[in-house]
């Protein structure tokens, strides 16, 4: 649960309002994967949103870091490699990704969602992910 990032989930869920059905579907799948990877259920996410729980450390109690050492970017766990689909949306959502790169990615969107990107595009996407999300 410590790897969950609510702010990122909100950004992903805002994409559900897209006029492009495939983009909205991809955002829904990514949001679902984020919740699942964090070990949460949607009931817990919604319950926390309605009635946020604030942990106040008692005197002498250590505070828990906001992000665990094993957590990846956007709160993802590092136990597995992200799919090109997940990398695609993380690169698109990253504030560090230049606008021209985001435009280039928009042209790939249909192929990424259909799983039809070339091995070179997959390698390029992984490089962009490492550069603009992880790095």
What pLDDT band is residue 85 in, cutting at 50, 70 and 90? confident
Number of domains in the chain: 1
104 inside domain = yes
* 90 within domain boundaries: yes
Residue 102 or residue 63, greater confidence = 102
**pLDDT confidence of residue 66:** 47
Quick check: is 1 in a domain? Answer: no
Under the banding of pLDDT at 50, 70 and 90, the label for residue 3 is low
Rounded distance, CA 117 to CA 134, Å? 22
**Lookup: tokens for 14:** 């805002």
pLDDT digits (tens, 9 = 90+) for 44-82: 887 755 545 555 555 555 544 444 444 555 555 555 677
More confident residue, 3 or 98: 98
Residue 14 belongs to some domain of the structure: yes
Q: Which domain holds residue 36?
A: 6-134
């Amino acid at each position: 649960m410590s790897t969950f990032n609510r702010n990122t989930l909100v950004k992903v869920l805002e994409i559900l309002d897209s006029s492009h059905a495939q983009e909205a579907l991809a955002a829904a799948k990514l949001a679902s994967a984020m919740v699942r990877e964090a070990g949460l259920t949607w009931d817990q996410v919604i319950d926390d949103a309605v009635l946020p729980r604030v942990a106040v450390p008692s005197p002498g109690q250590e505070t828990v870091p906001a992000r665990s050492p094993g957590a990846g970017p956007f709160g993802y766990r590092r136990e597995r490699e992200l799919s090109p689909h997940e990398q695609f949306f993380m690169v698109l959502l990253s504030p560090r990704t230049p606008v021209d790169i985001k435009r280039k990615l928009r042209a790939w969107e249909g192929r990424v969602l259909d799983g039809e990107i070339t091995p070179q595009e997959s390698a390029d996407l992984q490089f962009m992910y490492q550069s603009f999300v992880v790095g």
